[in-house]
Structure 1
């Protein structure tokens, strides 16, 4: 799960940065505000790569996904990109857990066969 989720989060890091460049052109928003919000979101996406297997990591990832969708009120294209990355996040979590379960089952089976010895074959 960690690899799939981290890949999604790194993609979001770049999308957030590009959205910040677009948001700078929006009237009524200061460059300081744009880059403070984008910087925090970008930092969160990178930090989440290392925290994804810890308690609350996946839930914090969902918060980031909601933030991406909500950012569409500033940069309208982010509504679409937010939904796309939310779908990617769901797939990363869902299929990542399935891969982890399959790996654990394979490891358990492999260790059981190894402990049985060569006579079991």
Structure 2
């Protein structure tokens, strides 16, 4: 079975982002004064966490990668609730970009090596 390095890198990034979203949701909920707390913060964070996991699980198709890009946009937008998320979200967006780019390059190089080995034997 051929394994895609690109998909592995992308899934790892999205899984790490799911953990980040969990903790950022707790921070956002904790920053709000007790009398203003409501389930909206927890619901939004839970939905984004679920989106991270769904995106990671659907990386066998283009839909998973599109959802991954949506996760990146939403993480950066999370900076409007927790300002440090602008920096963290942008950092993860850069990691996502390079995971796709470098993972794709590794997959192409592995295919080239396999092709050359098949020609040589």
Residue 113 (structure 2) pairs with residue 106 (structure 1): yes
Classify the secondary structure of the residue corresponding to 1:52: coil
Output one character per residue of 1:4-55: Cα deviation in whole Å (capped at 9) or x when no partner.
111111110111011100111224451x211211111111111222212312
Residues matched between the structures, number: 113
The answer for the alignment partner of 2:83 in structure 1 is: 76
Tell me how far apart the structure 1 counterparts of residues 83 and 102 of structure 2 sit (CA, whole Å). 29
Normalised by the size of structure 2, how large is the TM-score?
A: 0.86
TM-score, structure 1 length as denominator? 0.86
Query: 1:73 Cα deviation (Å)?
Result: 0.4
Q: 1:112 to 1:34 in 2, by over 3 A?
A: same
Matched, 1:10 2:15: yes
Point out 4+ residue stretches in structure 1 off by more than 6 angstroms: none
Q: Which residue of 1 aligns with 2:92?
A: 85
Structure 2: tracts of 5 or more residues without a match: 1-5
Output the aligned Cα RMSD: 1.3
Query: Matches of residues 1-121 of structure 1 in structure 2 within 5 Å?
Result: 1-25=6-30, 26-27=32-33, 28-30=36-38, 32-114=39-121
